[in-house]
Structure 1
Amino acid sequence: MTTMTIGQAESSQGLGSAEPLLVKQTVPPRLIRRINSSDVFVTQLGIVAEDVFEVGVRWPGSHSFYAPATPRWHDPLLFLESVREAGVLIAHAGYHIPMEFKFLTNQKWFHVDDPEGLRTNGGDPVDVTMRVTAKDIRRRAKSFAGMLFDVECYRDGSRIGTAAYRWSCVSSAGYARLRGQYRDALPEVPAGAAPVDHELVGRCASIDVMLADAPGENTWLLRVDPAHNVIYDHPMDHVPGNAIIEAGRQAALLASGMPEAIPVGGELDFHHYIEFDQPCTVTAHPVPGTNTIRLAFDQGDVRMADGSLDLCNG
């Protein structure tokens, strides 16, 4: 493949151009909707064929939020976050979706073939490769409206997991109309309810705890501190997807009573934005005879998101 700089990649014609796209230097955080370079895990991008991409990813030996789940394994949600970053990078650099467009996550699915594929490397970074295939590409007039990314993740030539990421996008003007009164909403400091004990949800710090106690069996309140500089590393008008996924993981650990467990598969459907101005409950119920935990996020009487996680005791 022909080497190109980030600047060339952003200004090239993308699909249908004579030159294959290749990013082979540090990816600017803005290309994946991040502020801090320490939260950028994608490292390079290449076109394999039409609508098929190869993305290099480096999992750090340590991270302030996506730390190894246990000394033995990287956090599987680091894999899922890497899928998100790869998707945003491809959307901008591969399909030239304008930077001002807003992305809406519709569904995420993942499966770890073998947890050993997530093994740590003595504190050193680990490099993996993702093969991403774009499907169900939808357009709105001359613009892209969304698509599905199917992902296969490889380490040292062996497949270690798969994922899917369905998303849609709208222009900034369309997003303002969509959000209405919430378009300028700001996160609020959680009031009243203290976070659950961080050790019960496999975290090292209280700021990383996304749940507070609530009445009801296997029910908690979603609690996201706006001071969290990974969850809220740029302005947002709703609770972001990575906070919802982490809250789901923590609820699954509490419901299972296995604080050292790691999620090795699951799916989440995002139906509505979770807003800042009213409580959101998170419920988690084990499926009898399995390691699967069913999850639901409700705000008022409206189901905002739901899905499941499959746990493996670490």
Structure 2
Amino acid sequence: MTTDTFRFEVPSIEQTAEAALSPFWAAALRHGHLTTTVPRELVHRAAVAEVMLTDWERLGDTHFAMTAQWPRGHSFFTPVDGGHHDPLIAAETIRQAGALLAHAEFGVPFGHQFLMEELTLTVCPEELGIGRAPAALDLDVTCKEVRKRGERLTGMRYETTVLREGRPAAAGRISFSVIAPAVYRRLRPERVFGAGHRPIALTAPLAPQSVGRLSPADVVLSPTGDPNRWQLRVDTRHPVLFDHQVDHVPGMVLLEAARQAATAVLGGSSILPLGLECEFTKYAELDLPCLIDALRLPKAAPGDPETVLVTGHQDGEPVFRTTVTTAPSD
């Protein structure tokens, strides 16, 4: 499992989302529709620039409409093949949708932990083209298997369709659990809360072009000397992957590791993922080496997309498992 946590750096850490948002949305209603991002705290981002969602509306008890925007250029979610929005920006957008709903619609207080258990994503490449303006998106979100203890949300699964000008651009499903701070502390090793808790030493990156990257700073794999096996490269200074302080490796880092491992196995300078199927089974700790293995799976028929199975292990125990389905680079 991987947790997604955000803590305020202001005294209002215990505010509910409703109380924090009321003045802003009241002003928006007075002045008509305003296009802006939702508050960053609701989507567990520290930087406003990393917020993809712009608005939301409740359509039913478990049915919601949202809007989002993808920039033409991004410091990390860089264009694929020079002409497509990065499919992982779709995964991040869908992740943000779940955090927003948990806080703003289901009453989860800030400071609770979100444990992502499953993520699936499919994209339609023809709808990912980068145009002359940022991509304006509509999200249709349905919450299923909503779990509560009394009135408190303890977890759910939600399904999202991302529409671009009315046409499906991506679809995804995420399941997560919500854990109160006191329970989370009992679940985690005591060392992660100590002042001396430090990530492992930063290891050397693979050549960026071998994993579809331009900058060594964006590479999350390090060589081990074994073919198709790498060590996860944990750079807690990365401004996007480690947007705020955490005590574990974020899920988006593991997704990026899967994408880079698939790219390396397929031997191309870039791949366009068509689909991801991910299971998170254990926290990836910052202070222990995490080994990433990739296996190119056989095709069922000539001309089928490539499929790569990527797994991560720490101390001999599985951390995550991802199947990456890709389209060949043009």
TM above 0.5, one fold? yes
Tell me how far apart the structure 1 counterparts of residues 37 and 94 of structure 2 sit (CA, whole Å): 17
Report the CA distance between 1:171 and its aligned residue.
0.8
CA separation of 1:70 and 1:165: change in aligned 2, threshold 3 A? same
SS in 1 for 2:153: strand
Report the CA distance between 1:187 and its aligned residue.
5.0
Q: In the alignment, does 2:321 pair up with 1:306?
A: yes
Tell me how far apart the structure 2 counterparts of residues 149 and 245 of structure 1 sit (CA, whole Å): 19
Q: After alignment, is 175-184 or 279-288 more displaced?
A: 175-184
Q: In the alignment, does 2:234 pair up with 1:224?
A: yes
Tell me how far apart the structure 2 counterparts of residues 270 and 156 of structure 1 sit (CA, whole Å): 33
Q: In the alignment, does 2:77 pair up with 1:66?
A: yes
Q: In the alignment, does 2:138 pair up with 1:129?
A: yes
Q: Conserved in 1, the CA contact under 8 Å of 2:200 and 2:287?
A: no
Report the CA distance between 1:307 and its aligned residue.
2.0
Report the CA distance between 1:26 and its aligned residue.
2.6
Q: In the alignment, does 2:16 pair up with 1:7?
A: no
Report the CA distance between 1:54 and its aligned residue.
0.9
Report the CA distance between 1:279 and its aligned residue.
0.9
Q: In the alignment, does 2:195 pair up with 1:180?
A: no
**1:62-83 deviation per Cα after TM superposition (whole angstroms, max 9, x unaligned):** 1111122232100000000000
Letter in 2 for 1:180: P
Report the CA distance between 1:100 and its aligned residue.
1.6
**1:248-296 deviation per Cα after TM superposition (whole angstroms, max 9, x unaligned):** 1000000111222111102110000001222111011111125010010
Q: In the alignment, does 2:297 pair up with 1:297?
A: no
Q: After alignment, is 278-287 or 135-144 more displaced?
A: 135-144
Structure with greater contact order relative to length (CA < 8 Å, sep ≥ 6): 2
Report the CA distance between 1:24 and its aligned residue.
6.1
Report the CA distance between 1:184 and its aligned residue.
1.9
Q: Conserved in 2, the CA contact under 8 Å of 1:108 and 1:166?
A: yes
Q: How does 1:1-314 map to 2 (within 5 A)?
A: 7-8=21-22, 25-112=36-123, 114-122=124-132, 124-184=133-193, 186-188=197-199, 190-191=201-202, 193-289=203-299, 290-314=305-329
Q: Conserved in 2, the CA contact under 8 Å of 1:74 and 1:119?
A: yes
CA separation of 1:169 and 1:46: change in aligned 2, threshold 3 A? same
Report the CA distance between 1:49 and its aligned residue.
1.6
Report the CA distance between 1:195 and its aligned residue.
0.4
Tell me how far apart the structure 2 counterparts of residues 102 and 272 of structure 1 sit (CA, whole Å): 14
Tell me how far apart the structure 1 counterparts of residues 180 and 24 of structure 2 sit (CA, whole Å): 18
CA separation of 1:278 and 1:92: change in aligned 2, threshold 3 A? same
Tell me how far apart the structure 2 counterparts of residues 139 and 161 of structure 1 sit (CA, whole Å): 29
**1:104-150 deviation per Cα after TM superposition (whole angstroms, max 9, x unaligned):** 010000111x201111013x211111101000011234311100011
CA separation of 1:247 and 1:23: change in aligned 2, threshold 3 A? farther
SS in 1 for 2:188: helix
Letter in 2 for 1:7: L
Q: Conserved in 1, the CA contact under 8 Å of 2:137 and 2:164?
A: yes
Tell me how far apart the structure 1 counterparts of residues 225 and 84 of structure 2 sit (CA, whole Å): 34
CA separation of 1:258 and 1:82: change in aligned 2, threshold 3 A? same
**1:156-195 deviation per Cα after TM superposition (whole angstroms, max 9, x unaligned):** 111122100000011111111111324426552634x410
Report the CA distance between 1:8 and its aligned residue.
2.6
Tell me how far apart the structure 2 counterparts of residues 167 and 79 of structure 1 sit (CA, whole Å): 18
Structure 2 spans left out of the alignment, 5+ residues:
1-17, 27-32, 300-304
Letter in 2 for 1:118: L
SS in 2 for 1:238: coil
Give RMSD over aligned pairs. 2.2
